[in-house]
Amino acid sequence: MHPIDSAVLVPHPQTPAAGLRAEARVERGIGGHLRLVYVVEGDNLRLPDPAGLERADGLWRTTCFEAFVGAPKSEAYLEVNLSPSGRWALYAFDGYRQGMRSPPAPPPDIEVKTSPGRIELAARIDLAGLAPEGVWRLGLTAVIERADGAKSYWSLAHPEGKPDFHNASGFLLTRAEHA
C-alpha cells in the first residue's frame, strides 16, 4: 500500500466542535484493500466501551469513524463504520440511502491508541469483490462525542442543511489502485 491522501476533517457548522481537531489518512492497495487512520484531539472525548472485534449496527450513535467508497459515475456506494470499541459495520447501497444491505465481508484489522485528549484509530479493510474496480471516490467522516453527550459531525465537506454523510457531494477524494 502507498499513502494516498491526508485531510483535515471539518465540523458541520450546526454541531459543537470547539477545541476539537480531526484528521484522516487513507491508503488504497491492490485488490480492494483500504487502510484508514483517523486522529481526533480534544478534551473530554467519550469513547464507547471496548467490545472486541465484532460486527454491529448503530455505531454512529457515539464516537465512530466512517468511510464511503463508490465509483465516480455510479450512485452505488459502500459505507464502512469503525468504532474505537472494536466494533465495525459494512453496508452496501444502490443509491442515496437506497437498497441498504450488509454484505458478507471479513472483519477489518482495527488498532486503537488512546491517550488523554487523543484517539487514533487505524484500520485495514478488505473490500475485494465489494468495492468498484478502477477509480474510487471517497468520503471520510467522523462522529465525535464528548463526555457531556454533545456530538459533532466531521467530514471532508458538508452539504447544506443537517449533517448528511451519505450525500455524495462529500465524497471528495478520488483514487486509483496502487501497487
Is position 135 within any domain? Answer: yes
The pLDDT, as a whole number, for residue 3 is: 45
Total number of domains constituting the chain? 1
Convert the pLDDT of each residue in 20-43 to its tens digit: 999 999 998 888 899 999 999 999
The pLDDT, as a whole number, for residue 122 is: 97
Is position 123 within any domain? Answer: yes
Q: How far apart are CA 16 and CA 19, in angstroms?
A: 9
Range(s) of the domain holding residue 106: 2-163
Convert the pLDDT of each residue in 63-95 to its tens digit: 999 999 999 989 999 999 999 999 999 999 999
Contacts of 133 (CB under 8 A, 6+ apart): 177
CATH number at residue 127: 2.60.40.1190
Is position 171 within any domain? Answer: no
Residue 2 has pLDDT above 60, yes or no: no
For 10-15, the CB contacts below 8 A with 24+ separation are 10/154, 10/155, 10/156, 10/157, 10/158, 11/152, 11/153, 11/154, 12/152, 12/153, 12/154, 12/155, 12/158, 12/162, 12/163, 13/158, 14/162, 14/163, 15/150, 15/151, 15/152, 15/153, 15/163
Convert the pLDDT of each residue in 45-61 to its tens digit: 999 999 989 999 999 99
Is position 51 within any domain? Answer: yes
Is position 159 within any domain? Answer: yes
Is position 178 within any domain? Answer: no
3-class state of residue 61 by DSSP? helix
Is position 174 within any domain? Answer: no
pTM: 0.94
